[in-house]
Structure 1
Amino acid sequence: MSAVTDSVAVAPQLRRGLTTNRLPNWAPAGIAVLSIALAVAIGLGFSLDSKIQWGLIAGLLFVGITYASSAKVEGRRQAKDRLATSVVWLAFVLAVIPLVALIFYTVQQGAGVVDARFLNHSMKGVISTEAGGGVYHALIGTLEQVGLATALAAPVGLLTAVYLVEYGRGRLAKAVTFFVDVMTGIPSIVAGLFILSLWILLFDFEYSGFAGSLALAILMMPVVVRSTEEMLKLVPNELREASYALGVPKWKTILRIVLPTAIGGITTGVMLAVARITGETAPVLMLVFGTEIINSNPFEGPQQSLPLYIWQQYQSNNDFGYARAWGAALVLIAFVMALNLVARGIARWRSPKSGH
């Protein structure tokens, strides 16, 4: 009876020992506010003009004060955990701030230009030093060039990934993997120079939107291969083995079982690859040139695109050109953002549902 009474008496003390000596829940927010206030005071005291310096000082103070407070109250072990957590939060903030600032500044500069007229008119007959004009011809060119590049790169990348995962063995598969890795790091200017030398100078084809699509397809292909390869590896082998046990041929198993299972991730990878090539400027500048009129035929003559349009308008070196450049940049960001949202929607729609 005495042992039971002693254990009951000790239990609350153990609970108090586990729950006491903890920083309150509001401590991280309070330390963040204190760090910002100290950083502002230091910046004003030492006449630091750059707000970036103020932010770095605030971040370092937040990490240091968090560790010191936790070590004093909770002990060194818990302080190390809080130190790692605060560093992760600091890295997150450092990554988000430039992105938010970029989007905010682009919207601020371009929102006043983007309207129905800006989206429905080209630069035909518009002097670069005057107001007016739009991005219709550049938007058409970007859609056609990116669409052709996707039509070329997506099937080749998909089939290459299927070979590497389902059939690839030995030296050939290793060689293909090696060259895919090398192609992933190829600069866009090199891809444009290759198509310029092969397609235009050697085969004597003209500068066109299709020539730019060939270079964009080279840049897109390794991204599609890598993303598709990873998605196919996530398909459980049990599904393949069950299909083989039923006597289904391997090619039909891939077509009916493997690809439908991974279609959500494959589509997401293709969309992300499309977003990656949409903003490329160097291949378009070398192979497509640019035009102020609407050219809906990507196989004949120069064609405009949004990245090249932005560069050309900024090169005009006047306020009207700057405004059109920021408006086109906003349209390009909206286009890429829409692609990413579509990719996420398809991935969520095609992802396996639990409980079904």
Structure 2
Amino acid sequence: MTTLSAPVTGLRARRLPKWAPWAVAAGSVLLSYLIVYAGGLLGGGIVLTAIASVVLYLFLLWLAARQIEGSRAARNRIASSLIYSAFILALLPLLSVAWTLVSKGIERMDGDFFSHSMNGITAFDANGGAYHAIIGTLEQAGIATLITVPLGVGAAIYIVEYGRGRLANIIRFFVDVMTGIPSIVAGLFILAFWVYVVYPLYSPDGKPGYSGFAASLALSVLMLPTITRSTEEMLRLVPDALREGSYALGIPKWKTIMRVVLPTALPGIVTGVMLAVARACGETAPVLLVAGGFNSINTNPVIGQQSSLAIYIWDQAGSASKYAPARAWAAALTLVLLVLILTIAAKLLARRSKLER
């Protein structure tokens, strides 16, 4: 003999009205405000008021659902509310960061900021921009992407499609180790290898030198494990039935990978690449070590010091000028918008390629 966990009227279980959770939420916020914030219970404060609102909401919702729907439905509502609360809690920092960037960075988002460098700008000057830093970021991230994407995708293809035995395990192990390498270590490696050993070989004076290309190499070291691991996981998600169907038609393995496997996994691969690019654009320590930073415009990534938006933000945030914080916030907002634009463009390109096929 079975029993229902909720009271039944006729053939349908009783349910809370759709407006009931919203009413409970509004009542919980109001009571918490009156008791904790206005009443000063537990010291008051907006944070304690928010915590009290959530706890009170969960208790009142559970009580109402238990009386009307039964204990099982009440537990289900509490679990769903906890999931929604976790989502909102995770979303709040993102919204807070976005609001802070927009509210403080929009002040210097003008034509002068995007068309001038910091050459000749002193602490008493309100002008100056990040044109040189934007050029450096685009060149360094672009070169690093051109270097890393073929290597990372190729390594992932070998691991998934060809790799067997000890060699594949060794490659996978070193990729995992590289994932946890601090960025400063990548910068030191390129500093010791490229700046002090390779660069003097073709330098006119035979001396070590900073360059944007060295920064790209350091960023490539950081991007490679992310691209390799994300591409590997995306390739593993491609159903084996697609490969087997291609092989059954007599298509070679390499062509199956190029025409079937990679196009199927392309959206996930693009996501992994853009995550790596976003990390590379925000790195400061390795770029500062091997590119040096520069207040003037340098469009040559091979010779001479070069700046980036990350270095520009770091430099302006530590400046004693009263105009520097506005420039730092504007550069931070520019960096976020730049990564956002690149991500949207890459997504649209991948989607268009998929539709054309």
TM-score by length of structure 2 reads 0.89
- The match for 2:274 among 253, 267, 271 is 271
Deviations 1:35-69 (A, max 9, x none): 22223221232274642332222222222322232
| Letter matched to residue 157 of structure 1 | G
1:89 counterpart residue number: 84
Give the conservation status (yes or no) of the 8 Å contact 2:295–2:307: yes
Query: Does 1:189 find its partner at 2:184?
Result: yes
Give the conservation status (yes or no) of the 8 Å contact 1:216–1:277: yes
Structure 2, unaligned runs of 5 or more: 1-6, 201-207
1:23 counterpart residue number: 16
| Letter matched to residue 43 of structure 1 | Y
- The match for 1:226 among 219, 226, 229 is 229
How do 1:110-125 residues align onto structure 2 when only pairs under 5 Å count?
110-125=105-120
How do 1:178-327 residues align onto structure 2 when only pairs under 5 Å count?
178-203=173-198, 204=200, 205-327=208-330
Give the conservation status (yes or no) of the 8 Å contact 2:105–2:326: yes
Q: CA separation in 2, counterparts of 1:43 and 1:343?
A: 47
- The match for 1:44 among 38, 52, 67 is 38
Q: 1:87 to 1:254 in 2, by over 3 A?
A: same
2:341 counterpart residue number: 338
Quote the offset at 1:89 in angstroms.
0.9
Query: Does 1:173 find its partner at 2:168?
Result: yes
Give the conservation status (yes or no) of the 8 Å contact 1:264–1:349: no
Q: CA separation in 1, counterparts of 2:284 and 2:45?
A: 32
Structure 1, unaligned runs of 5 or more: 1-12
Question: After the TM superposition, which of the residue ranges 285-294 and 201-210 deviates more from structure 2?
Answer: 201-210
1:130 counterpart residue number: 125
Quote the offset at 1:319 in angstroms.
2.4
> Aligned to 2:146, what secondary structure does the other structure show?
helix
> Aligned to 2:323, what secondary structure does the other structure show?
helix
Give the conservation status (yes or no) of the 8 Å contact 2:195–2:210: yes
Give the conservation status (yes or no) of the 8 Å contact 2:123–2:322: no
Q: CA separation in 2, counterparts of 1:280 and 1:293?
A: 20
Q: 1:124 to 1:254 in 2, by over 3 A?
A: same
Q: CA separation in 1, counterparts of 2:59 and 2:279?
A: 38
| Letter matched to residue 38 of structure 1 | L
> Aligned to 1:111, what secondary structure does the other structure show?
helix
Question: After the TM superposition, which of the residue ranges 28-37 and 144-153 deviates more from structure 2?
Answer: 28-37
Aligned residue pairs: how many? 341
Q: CA separation in 2, counterparts of 1:111 and 1:231?
A: 38
Give the conservation status (yes or no) of the 8 Å contact 2:263–2:354: no
Q: CA separation in 2, counterparts of 1:115 and 1:102?
A: 21
Quote the offset at 1:94 in angstroms.
0.8
Question: After the TM superposition, which of the residue ranges 25-34 and 84-93 deviates more from structure 2?
Answer: 25-34
Give the conservation status (yes or no) of the 8 Å contact 1:118–1:134: yes
2:153 counterpart residue number: 158
Question: After the TM superposition, which of the residue ranges 249-258 and 126-135 deviates more from structure 2?
Answer: 249-258
Q: CA separation in 2, counterparts of 1:61 and 1:75?
A: 19
Q: CA separation in 1, counterparts of 2:180 and 2:65?
A: 44
Q: CA separation in 2, counterparts of 1:31 and 1:349?
A: 46
Q: 1:298 to 1:53 in 2, by over 3 A?
A: farther
> Aligned to 2:107, what secondary structure does the other structure show?
coil
Q: 1:66 to 1:235 in 2, by over 3 A?
A: same
Q: 1:46 to 1:14 in 2, by over 3 A?
A: closer
Q: CA separation in 1, counterparts of 2:91 and 2:288?
A: 31
2:27 counterpart residue number: 34
TM-score by length of structure 1 reads 0.89
> Aligned to 2:108, what secondary structure does the other structure show?
coil
Deviations 1:176-196 (A, max 9, x none): 112112212222122112222
Q: CA separation in 2, counterparts of 1:33 and 1:347?
A: 44
Give the conservation status (yes or no) of the 8 Å contact 1:310–1:328: yes
Deviations 1:280-332 (A, max 9, x none): 11111222121110000111111110011011011113320001001111111
Give the conservation status (yes or no) of the 8 Å contact 1:110–1:329: yes
Give the conservation status (yes or no) of the 8 Å contact 1:35–1:58: yes
Identity %: 49
1:65 counterpart residue number: 60
Question: After the TM superposition, which of the residue ranges 208-217 and 255-264 deviates more from structure 2?
Answer: 255-264
Give the conservation status (yes or no) of the 8 Å contact 1:272–1:339: no
Quote the offset at 1:209 in angstroms.
1.0
- The match for 2:51 among 47, 56, 63 is 56
Quote the offset at 1:202 in angstroms.
4.3
